Amino acid sequence: MKIQQSRADRAIHALISLALALIVLVTVYPIYFVIIASVSDSSAVANGQVWLYPRELYLEGYKRIFEYGDLWRGYRNTIFYAAGGTALSLLVTISGAYVMSRRECMLNRPLMVYFTIPMFFSGGLIPTYLLISSLGLLNNPLVLILPGCFGIYNMIIARTFFQSSIPGELRDAAFIDGCGECGFFVRIALPLSKAIISVIGLYVAVAIWNDYFSALIYITDREYIPLQLVLREILISNSFDTRSAGGGITNSALEQQRLRDLVKYCVMVVSTLPVICIYPFIQKYFEKGVMIGSIKG
């Protein structure tokens, strides 16, 4: 049965649709512009001639960055940091959240107070640097993995999920069948927690993938620098040397600057491509789990 809508309802729906279309346009167009600018002539981009489709297909920028050693080294390092850091963070955070969700744990309240305080007060950059130095993590790849392996906010979200989505009756039934606490967590709780694991994993992976400040402070050996630090050097410091990328000496300074501008767009595409490719595979879990924190405090 089709519901009849009044003129006011149709007007409101039209306004909502228009607002959503504008939001999508504002969100998607910058990404689309970077993609088409990376395969267009840099002079056409600089003159404002590229805004809807590429002009004069030009792939020299991608050719140059594929020959740039620091970029691929940063890519390798960032993949290692993101994969290792996400796996360790999920292991620590999900395990801690499950323990905190159990009502029979007598230390729940004092532990929550202990965990909540660092969310509002931090030691600051200098004390943190001294702590990292005393632990021997300076210029060590583990400095980009270990300090952030336990996320308090993510733990609270996961704890809320276990409390609201895993019924106590299911745990009691598992115990009657001879399943222990660890067995229940591994065989029952984790398979039922794919949504929250995917959401937290995405949060952590994107945070590690985009992090450059930690490497800027704690890493000095270029062998360990992540992709985002290389990207920062290219975009902010304008340190990309076309000759170091195998291009030889160009004809003029203007041509070098145009190539640098083109390479910047190409690097943006290359650096964000993995995250864009991964998201569609976990979108269904993300949509289900992103609202978990609003169900119960």
Q: pLDDT tens digits, residue range 57-80?
A: 777 778 777 777 787 888 889 999
Q: pLDDT tens digits, residue range 136-185?
A: 888 999 999 998 888 888 888 888 888 888 888 888 888 888 888 888 88
pLDDT at 290 over 80: no
Q: Spell out the alpha helix ranges (H) of the chain.
A: 7-38, 42-46, 60-66, 69-101, 108-120, 125-134, 152-165, 168-176, 181-184, 194-210, 213-218, 227-235, 253-289
Same domain, 183 and 213: yes
Q: What is the rounded CA–CA span in Å between residue 95 and residue 44?
A: 54
Same domain, 42 and 141: no
Confidence category of residue 297, pLDDT binned at 50, 70, 90: very low
Q: pLDDT tens digits, residue range 244-276?
A: 444 444 456 676 777 777 777 887 888 788 777
Q: What is the rounded CA–CA span in Å between residue 275 and residue 151?
A: 20
Nearest to 74 by CA among 234, 217, 206: 234
Same domain, 135 and 217: yes
Same domain, 47 and 79: no
Mean pLDDT score of the chain = 81
Q: What is the extent of the structural domain holding 44?
A: 1-58
Q: What is the rounded CA–CA span in Å between residue 296 and residue 191?
A: 21
- Confidence (pLDDT) at 18: 93
Q: What is the value of pTM for the model shown?
A: 0.76
CB under 8 Å to 247, separation ≥6 — which residues?
64, 67, 259
pLDDT at 124 over 90: no
Q: What is the rounded CA–CA span in Å between residue 218 and residue 158?
A: 30
Same domain, 144 and 284: yes
Same domain, 46 and 121: no
CATH code for the domain of 109: 1.10.3720.10
- Confidence (pLDDT) at 188: 87
Same domain, 135 and 277: yes
Q: Are 266 and 65 in contact (CB under 8 A)?
A: yes
Please say which residue of 22, 42, 58 terminates a domain. Answer: 58
Same domain, 166 and 232: yes
Q: What is the rounded CA–CA span in Å between residue 143 and residue 136?
A: 9
Same domain, 33 and 132: no
Please say which residue of 20, 37, 58 terminates a domain. Answer: 58
Average pLDDT over residues 126-133: 90
Same domain, 40 and 68: no
Confidence category of residue 114, pLDDT binned at 50, 70, 90: confident
Same domain, 33 and 166: no
- The residue among 44 and 235 whose pLDDT is bigger is 44
What is the number of structural domains in the chain?
Answer: 2
Same domain, 142 and 49: no
Please say which residue of 25, 58, 91 terminates a domain. Answer: 58
